[in-house]
Structure 1
């Protein structure tokens, strides 16, 4: 990354004064005041629910503040008007891209800029502006390329170009808001982004950088603003901060790293041999003759850019899809492609999208707590749900996994009312706490748990020490965790990591699918990489480097990452 150039002017290009926003009784922003200098990178940190999204939504005109004022380049910014924010030179690159996949790069940049009364297209002028801006900031993308065929890194360049290109408005962005910009990038693509940021600030642009990755925040930012519970609790130079300090500022307490226990892997729990999965609308196999083995007491991590077959692998390992070729066994037995059979065999899952497939938001917490086990004798009899048993189990789960947000209505609380972190705790508890909790029993921590500083007891899940699945009424033999900490703040991430490591130490086999390489290196015993439905050999985590993983994620093959269709 080129050498960082400090801000060239102390004068503020953006000033927020006393910004407050309430949603009913919830105070999302509480009298927040911030400023941003020309050529400065200001990092915005905070837990989920701290108020970051609300604040930048107010800044970009999506929300109207209840109190406070915003000035951009010395002029008042009209509230609740995204067009006014764009005209003032404020651009935003969202975490989830807002591109039209079936259009070209040029068409995406022009989208929304052509006035209805314009009789002739201005594609020539737009193309020239796109090429010139791309060359100026090192963001070159072929204007006629179809967005659907671009890599994730190239799509992000298009998003940034949309903000920077001045075609169709008075000026391009002079203030750029980047929301989790490296969440889905390879290490090499992240490096390219950082080089672009350095060039942007060298040209005098100012950047608000939102990220949960503290290493990146410390690397790219000049100043750091930390929000907690809707309030600004600290603003400090990046040079005076470290990861431990920032983590404590974000959550209000020290966040200890996840503790690993030394243990040897046990017997093979899950084995794939030349597994192939086809899809009619896909040009290549979704899973292309992949092989892997997973043993009790180990974490096998699968890295890769989204959309390369990881979700299909997770679905196959949970019984949602039948293979078109190859074999799959759990504890030596082939199981039918029927999810209930896999649940009974001791396979637990943490799905990627907690809102879409993890929970049913309109159902109460107690129903979601036993959602995958309604058909078992523990929670149903003659096809009728045993409500008392299910609710007792849910209360025990809430206690053990510190699921907050149910204080008013208890287990009858609609699940959609939970925050993302607490929703994930509910899903995690459902996966790990498979032993039914009888009505009237105390919700004490199970044997082997111990208190952690500033948090609930750590749950020892009591897996049969690698001796195989006990099914419902025992504990999971195999945990398929697909993006288990996606969108969670640092405190919730640490909690989820510790629970997975504790389950692994108790004998569970954990398949971790993640796009967060820091998470992978923190948890994995072995690592493999998926690209275009193929899987590299699973190697010990210590044999991998970030560069090697990044190369394998883009289809290159490093020395330690040879693709194999044989035993992993």
Structure 2
């Protein structure tokens, strides 16, 4: 952005420029863009954040399924109308945050440290507890260690000596997860579910349909050399019906589906296993607003069922509306833990750029 501004451009096109910015940095960027407008420059900003659209724009053009759904003056519209133009129907833009009593400890993470291939700490001495019946949001500038933290818990990343992840279950007792790989965690019958950032690279097999992707979670449970598809097919049909997945048939390759349908399949498969801990990394990235709210509602329903939910997200407004507590990470270190009901975007933005860890 700085390089483009330095060149003295007359027309500036920005595609999701605030995705990796804190609220304070976003305010500075918008001040620059408003000054450019006053200087007679033309600015096009592409964003899915409706509050930013209302703050910075003079006119809004809405795209739906690759077509122009209409252009309106910002001064004559509101977020609800823009949402209806984006989706094509009326939807409710409310995220429910129910309070669940009788919480139980599910995960106890102590001094987790993860190194990247260059031996640099991408997760640096992070400790926190996770309880049933809550959504723990994780905020941070993209690349601050959120992905590696979740993968470390799931046994997909090597944790350094001194790291500890203790899983508590009324049915299976207490287990130390550090040192176990994902196969061993599943083998112990521990009900952890993970919705990764990379949907078609780590989450699903793109050339397979819904049925075969469901089968991947249970093929080790079979007996004998042959696979039985009846149960996976029933589960796949249940996911398609309950989450309204649009697909020609259950064997249609998921890589040919829209991002929203792919994410519904991935989330549906994970919650079908009735997890006690559900971890999601950027669960709504790139999704339309209607599908995004479907995912939010699914996470809240899991919370009400007593599931401990971790939600890593980029949209601070959503984090504040969905989360019971919000942990903030900067450069791999935890810089704060806030109450989601009382925290502000300004507090989160400050902690997202605060180096040195929590006080």
Per-residue CA distance 1:102-153 (angstroms, 9 max, x = gap): xxxxxxxxxxxxxxxxxxxxxxxxxxxxxxxxxxxxxxxxxxxxxxxxxxxx
Which residue pairs with 2:235 in the alignment?
393
Asked whether 1:273 is paired with 2:72, we answer no
Alignment partner, residue 82 of structure 2: 246
- Contact persistence 2:325–2:338 (CA under 8 A): yes
In the alignment, structure 1 residue 374 sits paired with structure 2 residue 219: yes
Map of 2:185 onto structure 1: 342
Q: 1:416 & 1:498 partners in 2: Cα distance?
A: 25
Q: Does 1:215 align with 2:13?
A: no
**CA distance 1:279–1:249, change in 2 (3 Å):** closer
Q: Is the contact made by 1:370 and 1:430 (CA closer than 8 Å) also made in structure 2?
A: no
Q: Which residue in the other structure is 1:417 paired with?
A: 256
Matches within 5 A, 1:512-523: 512-523=311-322
What stretches of structure 1 move > 6 A for 4+ residues in a row?
Answer: none
1:108 aligned residue: none
Pick from 291, 294, 313: which aligns with 2:127? 291
Match of 1:494 among 286, 293, 318: 293
**Do structure 1's residue 504 and structure 2's residue 349 form an aligned pair?**
no
Residue of structure 2 equivalent to 1:100: none
Aligned runs of 1:459-470 on 2, under 5 Å?
none
Q: SS of the residue aligned with 1:209?
A: strand
Cα distance change of structure 1 residues 353 and 279 upon mapping to structure 2, 3 Å threshold? closer
- Give, in whole Å, the separation in 1 of the partners of 2:117 and 2:13: 39
Contact 1:255–1:494 at 8 Å: present in 2 too? Answer: no
Corresponding residue SS for 2:327: strand
* Residues 177, 265 of structure 1: alpha-carbon distance in 2 compared, 3 angstrom cutoff: farther
Is contact 2:113–2:124 with CA below 8 Å preserved after alignment?
A: yes
Matched positions, count: 349
1:563 aligned onto 2:358: yes
- Higher relative CO (Cα under 8 Å, sequence separation at least 6) belongs to 2
For the residue of structure 2 that corresponds to 1:385, the secondary structure is coil
Tell me the TM-score normalised to structure 1 length. Answer: 0.59
User: Within 1, Cα distance between the matches of 2:215 and 2:103?
Assistant: 29
Partner residue in 2 for 1:119: none
Q: Structure 1 residues 280 and 360, CA, compared in 2 at 3 Å: closer, same or farther?
A: closer
CA contact (8 A) 2:326 2:339 kept: yes
Q: In the TM superposition, what are the counterparts of 1:398-547 in structure 2 within 5 Å?
A: 398-404=240-246, 406-407=247-248, 410-434=249-273, 475-547=274-346
Aligned pairs for 1:318-333 within 5 A: 318-324=154-160, 325-331=162-168, 332-333=174-175
- Note closer, same or farther for the CA distance 1:382–1:281 as it changes in structure 2 (3 Å cut): same
Alignment of 1:166-315 (within 5 A): 173-256=9-92, 257-264=94-101, 266-283=103-120, 285-315=121-151
Gaps of 5+ in 1: 1-155, 166-171, 435-474
Instruction: Report the Cα distance in structure 1 between the residues aligned to 2:343 and 2:73, rounded to whole angstroms.
Output: 33
- Give 1 or 2: higher helix fraction: 2
Given the alignment, which residue of 206, 218, 221 partners 1:361?
A: 206
Larger Rg: 1
SS in 1 for 2:27: helix
Q: Which residue of 2 aligns with 1:95?
A: none
Deviations 1:348-400 (A, max 9, x none): 0111121322222112222223433332x2xx323532222222221121111
RMSD: 1.9
Structure 1 residue 265 displacement after superposition: 5.2
Report if aligned partners of 1:351, 1:482 keep a CA contact under 8 Å in 2: yes
Task: Give distance in 2, aligned partners of 1:300 and 1:199.
Answer: 39
1:301 partner SS: strand
TM-score (norm 2): 0.91
User: Alignment partner of 2:125: what SS?
Assistant: strand
> Which secondary structure does the structure 2 equivalent of 1:277 belong to?
strand
- Equivalent residue for 1:146? none
Structure 2: segments with no counterpart, 5+ residues:
169-173
